[in-house]
Amino acid sequence: MQIVARIRGARRAVAALAFAALLVACAGPQVPITGTITDAYTGQPVGAAQITLGSNTLTTDAAGNYQIPRWSIKDQLTVSASGYEPVTIDLATKPQLERPQPPAVSLDTIAIRPNTLSGVITDAYTGEPVDGALVKVTDAISATTAADGSFSLAGLPESFVVEITKEDYEPLSESLARTTTFDAAIRPNVLTGQVTDRFSGAPVAGATVRAGEASAETDAEGRYRLVGVPEQATVTVDAEGYAELTQPVERVTTLDAVLRPDVLKGTLVDATTGEPVPNATVIATTNLTSSDVAYVRVDNSADGSFTLDGIPEQGFVQVLAPGYRKTVIELKPGSVPERIELEPFAAKALYVTAAVASNWDLLMEYFDAIDRTELNAIVIDLKSDLRDDLGLIYYDSQVPIVKELGTSRPNMDLPRILEEAKRRGIYTIARVHIFSHDNVLADAKPEWAAKDRITGGVFADYPAPNIRYAWLDPWNQNVWDYNIQLSVEAALMGFDEINYDYIRFPSLEFAADDKDRLQLSREGTAEEKFANIVEVLKRSHRAINGAGAFFSVDVFGYTAFRPSALIGQDLSLMAEYTDYVMPMVYPSHFVPGEFGFDNPAEHPYEVIAESMKAGAEQVAGKRALVRPWLQEFTLVWVPDHLLVEYGPAEVRAQIQAVEDHDGRGGWILYDSANDYNESALKPE
């Protein structure tokens, strides 16, 4: 009986539970479910979210609220909304739904996670939208920006990495989480531009442009495209023949570079014929009163081409070519042509002493004569040619050794003289006595002078009573430096040319015992003497051309025909390191029998013609041109039967001979008394 009673009790309990469940199930339609849908990231309500419960569908209101009037505990509630990840909830898992109480049962707020990303991509430098950028999370989730830079992605997880790429921009990678918007500014990483020559404006091809690890080379038009430029980069541009340019760049995508040539390449041509100029010196200076900062010799160039390294940013290019006027070109954009035309020039000069040049009014008479005639140049002694102060520098030299020795006096106003000469277009030549006719230096520095074995003093020539020509030692380099410094100073003051006289060893012609008396610091073979004179010229030519002046040297007339071992003059060697060689081919100085003439002085044309031909042979293939000194005086210390009065006809004959035999170097009239007859000259 007890067992039966237990069974009946259990049945009654099961029935009660089943009834209770039935009551709950039947409660669905009677107690509505309410709730709110919110954004999982912002907590804001999500309006218009779609609620699906079984076959029923409804949407949330603007506040994200919803109400489900009929439902079953067995149902699944699904929430979906545009731009959100769908959410499904089993109602059976919600305890509050087990015994809902009227008037409604509320579900917990359902937060749905956004799964989209939108934004605008702009240029970091300009702020303008970037069209066509790829915004990518995965291969399946990516978008390309529109014309306004906008993009939109869907199906995103809660956290992800977005990558933005675009040609000519630095890639951007950003880790994002719990966000639906992302605006990004991407940085351009390409630099483009053109590289041009500062002076000519021409494009520079083959220039290398660098920024960090990025590198590019300019094309034939000088244009470049540099990819991978880092932020806040320093760009360097370099090209052969140009000074390197370094330029910091920030927030720019274009950079045109103007390179300053520090190597100037060009061609020298004759302005009249267009033919190449084979020999020249090309220098660059920072101003017109300073020596070169860049220098190159052009020797026997078949096409007249030159390359000048190391030119300054500002200054001048100067071209000195024998047979042409000096050409000066300012270094500024567009001012230096690749083809430089040189104007032919042949000096037609007369000579005056320093004493004459010290008298302004008297000197102006010579200037006036030059203006009236075919003359275009003047030779002025820098040192005195007077017996009492032979070798004294006749202007206020600032050369340190000159000031130390006190070997100058302010007798000539050289700045005024040179200014007036330039105003009139007169070519100026400064004549400098080197190893003789400089008693002042020999007496001031006897240790630099040649010695007299007999007296123990300074060796000197004595061509006549009361005339003393002291000799400096041609081996002594202090003498070289003294005169080179003086010459450079004169060049920088504005002389167009520096002329060396007495650039030789003693000729031992005035006394029988000259050879016995002369004692130099060394004897030297003929070859050593030649080499010594050449070395003086080599140093002088470099310094004088470098100071912007031409360089000429006087030689004995006979050396136009053959070298002289005694005096160390070999025209073929000397012509390599001077612009003009100037043989003193005075017809009266040639001895009877020369050229087949009993008295060469009677044949001025023939003597000069033969001298020009011989000199041309000596300097053939060399740098220098021949420019002879012509006789404008009557040589009186000869026997009466050899004396020939030199007047206009004889002078004109000499000039004609020069002009008939390659007179590109010009000619110079010489009279020690500076007495010239204008009637020998053509009028201007």
CATH code assigned at 568: 3.20.20.80
Classified as helix, coil or strand, 94 is coil
Compute the distance between CA of residue 272 and CA of residue 106 in angstroms, rounded to an integer: 109
Tell me the pLDDT tens digit for each residue of 247-258: 999 899 999 999
Classified as helix, coil or strand, 400 is helix
- Taking residues 444-473, report their average pLDDT: 95
Say if residues 298 and 306 touch (Cβ distance below 8 Å): yes
Please indicate, yes or no, whether residues 487 and 535 belong to a single structural domain of this protein.
yes
Q: Which amino acid, 455?
A: T
Tell me the pLDDT tens digit for each residue of 481-510: 999 999 999 999 999 999 999 999 999 988
- Taking residues 507-515, report their average pLDDT: 91
Q: Which of 154, 169, 186 is the last residue of a domain?
A: 186
Average pLDDT value over all residues in the chain: 93
Please indicate, yes or no, whether residues 321 and 372 belong to a single structural domain of this protein.
no
pLDDT for position 625: 98
Say if residues 279 and 623 touch (Cβ distance below 8 Å): yes
Alpha helices in 450-525 (DSSP H): 477-493, 514-517
Compute the distance between CA of residue 663 and CA of residue 323 in angstroms, rounded to an integer: 9
pLDDT for position 623: 97
Please indicate, yes or no, whether residues 130 and 73 belong to a single structural domain of this protein.
no
Burial (CB < 10 A; 0-12, 13-18, 19+), residue 17, is exposed
Q: Which domain holds residue 530?
A: 347-680
Q: What's the sign of the alpha-carbon dihedral 600, 606, 612, 618?
A: negative
- Taking residues 601-608, report their average pLDDT: 98
Whether the per-residue pLDDT at 535 is higher than 50: the answer is: yes
Please indicate, yes or no, whether residues 334 and 369 belong to a single structural domain of this protein.
no
Whether the per-residue pLDDT at 649 is higher than 80: the answer is: yes
Name the β-bridge partners of 666.
347
Tell me the pLDDT tens digit for each residue of 292-346: 999 999 999 999 999 999 888 889 999 999 999 999 999 887 677 889 999 999 9
pLDDT for position 17: 40
Tell me the pLDDT tens digit for each residue of 27-69: 444 799 999 999 999 999 999 999 999 888 999 999 999 999 9
Please indicate, yes or no, whether residues 128 and 85 belong to a single structural domain of this protein.
no
pLDDT for position 338: 87
Classified as helix, coil or strand, 379 is strand
Please indicate, yes or no, whether residues 512 and 537 belong to a single structural domain of this protein.
yes
Whether the per-residue pLDDT at 198 is higher than 90: the answer is: no
pLDDT for position 12: 46
- Taking residues 507-535, report their average pLDDT: 95
DSSP 150-209: EEEEES--SEEEEEEE-TTB--EEEEEES-SB--EEEPB-EEEEEEEETTT--B-TT-EE
- Taking residues 162-166, report their average pLDDT: 98
pLDDT for position 334: 67
Name the β-bridge partners of 77.
53, 89
Q: Which residue has the tokens 């089943």?
A: 18
Name the β-bridge partners of 351.
379
Please indicate, yes or no, whether residues 300 and 361 belong to a single structural domain of this protein.
no
Please indicate, yes or no, whether residues 507 and 650 belong to a single structural domain of this protein.
yes
Q: What's the sign of the alpha-carbon dihedral 676, 679, 682, 683?
A: positive
Domain count, the chain: 5
Say if residues 267 and 304 touch (Cβ distance below 8 Å): yes
- Taking residues 74-98, report their average pLDDT: 95
| Cα angle, residue 34 at apex, residues 28 and 36 outer, rounded to 5° | 150
Please indicate, yes or no, whether residues 450 and 565 belong to a single structural domain of this protein.
yes
459: CB partners within 8 A, 6+ apart? 449, 450, 451, 452, 470, 471, 506, 517, 518, 519
Please indicate, yes or no, whether residues 416 and 547 belong to a single structural domain of this protein.
yes
- Kind of pairing between the strands at 460-464 and 50-53: unpaired
pLDDT for position 56: 87
Q: Which of 288, 307, 342 is the last residue of a domain?
A: 342
Please indicate, yes or no, whether residues 360 and 400 belong to a single structural domain of this protein.
yes
Q: What's the sign of the alpha-carbon dihedral 95, 100, 101, 102?
A: positive
Please indicate, yes or no, whether residues 409 and 514 belong to a single structural domain of this protein.
yes
- Taking residues 406-435, report their average pLDDT: 98
Band (263; pLDDT cuts 50, 70, 90): confident
Q: Which of 146, 163, 186 is the last residue of a domain?
A: 186
- Sheet of strand 305-309: strand arrangement: 305-309, 263-270, 339-342
Residue 235 belongs to domain with CATH number: 2.60.40.1120
Whether the per-residue pLDDT at 433 is higher than 70: the answer is: yes
- Taking residues 610-625, report their average pLDDT: 97
